[in-house]
Structure 1
Amino acid sequence: MEECPFCNPRKDPDQNIVFENEFCYYLQNPKHQDVLEGTGVIVPKAHRKDAFALSKKEWEATQNLLQKAKRYIEETFNPDGYTLGWNVGEVSNQFIFHAHFHIIPRYNDEPYAGRGIRYWLKQPENKRT
């Protein structure tokens, strides 16, 4: 997995390791801070294709970093809410096939405020034919 940006975050200048524990990293990509500041991902250190491949210890480590990241984001960026989630498969817009849990702080003054995960479920034009 030499070319996977999440397998070797110390070698990738686009990955900033904010926190880590035995099983996972919490990363913030500086390029993603221009749109919604504070955005980051939690990734397992071992290459796992998607969230369904995580071990119990990796799930626990993810939850641990989620709480730590939340405290950090709130102290640093003071968001009004969050959108959290996993993309699994190309149809879900997963384009790095190493499991990564998105932590997206949301702000009342952003143009897409109020458009979370449920927004996409309620769009009639997204109905399968």
Structure 2
Amino acid sequence: MNECEYCHIQFEQQKLVLENEHCLFLIANEPEIEGAGIIIPREHRETVFDLTEAEWAATYELLQKAKAYIEENYRPEGFNVGWNCGHVGGQHVFHSHLHVIPRYADEPYAGRGIRYWFKSKENRRS
């Protein structure tokens, strides 16, 4: 756990926006994903499957508040919300984190959700 970047958040890359007893909501300081953030448990949990019941409830509570915050401050037309679990699932930081990604009508990939990439011909298993 000592090497986990989410156990030791560096606030130069993330801005703490909301928090509760069990979780934090951070927004990335990256202009290409305006308003996108993550909800992470304060305690180290490798994946969503490791969250406690209290952390699930706290995540839900923060998700509702994060949505309201993003809508008020960024005015998106939609959202993608999800967890990546395990290396093959796209997880790069092995501390559970829920992506909350606002989507905008003027994006090149607007209207293409999470499953778009999985259903593409290029992603078919051999």
Please give the TM-score of this superposition, normalised by the length of structure 2: 0.94
Pick the structure with more helix per residue. Answer: 1
Whole-Å Cα distance in 1 between the matches of residues 96 and 104 of structure 2?
26
Whole-Å Cα distance in 1 between the matches of residues 50 and 18 of structure 2?
22
Whole-Å Cα distance in 2 between the matches of residues 3 and 47 of structure 1?
11
Q: 1:12: Cα distance to partner?
A: 4.0
Secondary structure class of the residue paired with 1:43: strand
Q: 1:126: Cα distance to partner?
A: 1.2
* Structure 1, unaligned runs of 5 or more: none
| Structure 1 residue aligned with 2:7 | 7
Listed one character per residue, the Cα deviations across residues 73-97 of structure 1 (whole Å, up to 9, x for unaligned) are 0000000000010000111211100
Whole-Å Cα distance in 2 between the matches of residues 48 and 108 of structure 1?
34
RMSD: 1.2
- CA contact under 8 A between 1:24 and 1:58: conserved in structure 2? yes
Q: Residue 79 in 1 paired to residue 76 in 2?
A: yes
| Structure 1 residue aligned with 2:23 | 24
1:84 counterpart letter in structure 2: V
Runs of 4+ in 1 over 4 A off after TM superposition: none
Q: Percent identity?
A: 52
